[in-house]
Chains A and B, each alone.
Chain A
Amino acid sequence: MAFQFIDEYERQFRWLLTRYPTKQACLLPALRLVEAQQGFIDDAAKKYVAGRLDLAPAFVHGVFTFYSHYRRPGDGKHVVMVCMTLPCALRGAGAILAAFEEHIGIRCGQTSSDGLFSLRKVECLGSCSTAPVAQIDDDYFENLTPEKVRDIVLALKNGMTPPHLSNGPTPNGGCRCFKPLVEACPEGSGAR
């Protein structure tokens, strides 16, 4: 299916074009806008963004695959990323991963058959002094224990806001990308 920005993201995209000296520089944030709009980045969206930025679709694909944090089309509704790097590992990240596997009912690297969860190991999430840590979608969960993992998974399975969120739920129902800044500074930055 063809992809196209809806008005809200079209406005942000056009604003981004005014903030950098080249069109190409908008690539990483533009892919984030795609993610915000439809939840994942597929080939149609890559082709669309390539066209808007005067880039080859293959180039956009090459950049996209370099980065691990973008959401892919087959990802579950909730992507669970468990940090396994040393500071978390020292504080029992292995048991946290095992608890996620047990309560979701899938192995690391899999997506549940109902499409609700994807579970993966990731490298350092940058929250080492509150280890062990996991990120679920946009949110961080710190100082985890297997019991907390059980509560979090149960809440998500029931469509509720999970407990033990470290910074509270993402404000305003998910990432608003550049919206407040576009409103505060609608004019370009003179970079182009």
Chain B
Amino acid sequence: MIARDFKPLLLDGAYRAGNWALEQYRRQGGYEAAKKALAMPRDPATNSVPALIDEVKKSGLRGRGGAGFPAGMKWSFVDYKAKKPRYLAVNCDESEPGTCKDRVVVTYNPHLLLEGILIACHACGIENAYIFIRGEYVIEFERLVEACAEAYKAGLFGRDAMGSGHTIHVTPHRGAGAYICGEETGLLSALEGDRGYPKVKPPFPAVEGAWRCPTVVNNVQTLALLPSILRMGAEAWSKIGPAKSPGPMIYCLSGHVNKPGLYELPMTVTMRELVYELGGGVLDGLRLKAVIPGGSSMPVMKYDGAYVGSDGIERTDDLDMTMDFETLRAAGSMLGSASLIVMHERTCMVNALYNLVRFYHHESCGQCTPCREGSGWVEKLLARIVRGKGKPADYETLMSVVGQMSGTTICLLADSCAMPVGSFLVKFKDEFQYYCEHGKSMVKDAIPL
């Protein structure tokens, strides 16, 4: 169901020039939530605000970075006993194919993020926050720097943030082009001035993160939702959308739809509504073939017929499923970053997969052999198939390589490659086998990819 009367929280004022100014934000009640939060006293034993952490827990807010981990719970894992400084690392490295929303939030509502940072820093007793933004986002970085400057001048950050007596600083930190820096420990490596190599967990960042100190890593939208939780109260906020996936989600629609774009809604909306109503239907009136529901790393959903799952049972994917964390997981995929890549009937799935695997091979950091070599082998095999030189045995070889990539590496990049590959191979088996056997695509009038 599309909640048509829902007023966006994150995209409020998006695409309106000047919406980013502090004065404008304040006129709409901006920084009132942070003021309320910063008035809550810290527990001297832990230098944190348990009541504030509880409020976020009560809201049911789940991290918007992709995993959907409960945000309040993440904050409670911080090692508050360690006699070390704590840090907040804001993940604005948005690089997952299909995902393009942090960019709009930061461009048009930078103060929403900064207010969320104040709340998080106060809750967890953090003095220094770093906003890690991908290197390509130059204008967005400039906007953040300007917004931080405005906030400092207004006394919102600094040695006595909002007159609270607490020190809270924020520093935007620009990356330089590497998908892996969106992985939380890869991000921390880059923040420390190193190659963006992910680190073995445990220890988790909450215990030993940046500079081996307790570190909270939160996505832009997770933080930008905090002011609304305090403003509305956790109880009321938790009633937006389904009980286990509360709060609004920004759905990114891309690919073969008539109206691609960002749609911020409670997670009661269905795949069909996103594609056919909000997205205005499939491009050129063609038939829907497949949708990757949560950014390119998630298993694909097939909508042009049934398929035999890896367990030998025949299935069809449901176009009417609601797009929330629980439903997608039950359907064998994941909501991830809620970014839908829509493909119509003239898309050759072999070529589409080849494109995606090229991405993962390019972005593998190279530390772990199963990822570095595995993604390369899959790319090479697919390259051979799309050149028309595939062999019938290639299908099984692909399946076996993918099977050896999952769960064998430091971070999830190998799995992020294996999940789409495995699902494409299973759900569109006939297309892959046809391409291997005939040396050409099974799809008529396939679009060039």
Contacts and interface: CB of A to CB of B under 8 A. Distances in A.
B254 A171 contact: no
A124 B138 contact: no
B139 A167 contact: yes
A94 B363 CA distance: 20
Interface stretch (A2-10, A146-154, A155-163, A178-186): A178-186
A133 B233 CA distance: 40
B24 interface: no
A87 B98 contact: yes
Contacts of B428: none
B292 to A, nearest CB: 8
A90 interface: yes
Interface stretch (B266-274, B325-333, B354-362): B354-362
B195 interface: yes
Interface string B160-193: 0000000101011111111100000000001111
Interface string A78-92: 000100111101111
Contact of A28 (B95, B152, B193): B193
A180 B139 CA distance: 14
Contacts of A189: 127-128, 169, 171
Contacts of A81: 136
Contacts of B137: 126
Contacts of B252: 128-129
Nearest to A165: B139
Contacts of A28: 173-176, 190, 193
Contacts of B96: 124
A95 B447 CA distance: 11
Contact of B359 (A21, A86, A181): A86
Contacts of A122: 177
Given A63-B193, A67-B176, A86 B97 contact: yes
B174 A32 contact: yes
Contact of B145 (A27, A63, A180): A180
Nearest to B353: A86
A155 to B, nearest CB: 19
B193 A87 contact: no
Contacts of A27: 193-194
B350 to A, nearest CB: 13
B324 to A, nearest CB: 21
Contact of B355 (A86, A177, A187, A191): A86
A78 to B, nearest CB: 14
Contacts of B128: 19, 189-191
Interface residues of B, number: 74
Interface stretch (A100-108, A110-118, A135-143): A135-143
A127 interface: yes
A136 B56 CA distance: 41
Given A128-B100, A138-B138, A138-B139, A178 B145 contact: yes
Nearest to A98: B448
Contact of A128 (B150, B341, B343): B341
Interface centre among A26, A27, A128, A138 (most CB of B within 10 A): A128
A81 to B, nearest CB: 8
A171 B142 CA distance: 8
Contacts of B175: 28, 67, 69
B341 A170 contact: no
Interface string B135-162: 1111101100110111011000111000
Given A69-B177, A87-B255, A181 B145 contact: yes
A63 to B, nearest CB: 6
A99 B211 CA distance: 46
Given A86-B359, A129-B261, A190-B167, A24 B192 contact: yes
Given A68-B177, A123-B179, 8 more contacts: A19-B169, A87-B98, A126-B134, A139-B138, A180-B146, A184-B148, A184-B152, A190-B159
Interface of A: 19-22, 24-29, 31-32, 53, 55, 62-63, 66-70, 81, 84-87, 89-92, 94-95, 122-131, 135, 138-140, 167, 170-171, 175-181, 183-185, 187, 189-191
Interface of B: 85, 94-100, 102-103, 107, 127-128, 134-139, 141-142, 145-146, 148-150, 152-153, 157-159, 167, 169, 171-179, 190-196, 211, 213, 252-256, 260-262, 296, 339, 341, 343, 347, 352, 355-356, 359, 362-363, 365, 447-449
17 contacts: A21-B213, A32-B176, A55-B193, A66-B178, A69-B136, A89-B449, A90-B343, A127-B103, A129-B252, A129-B261, A129-B262, A131-B255, A167-B139, A176-B142, A185-B148, A189-B128, A191-B128
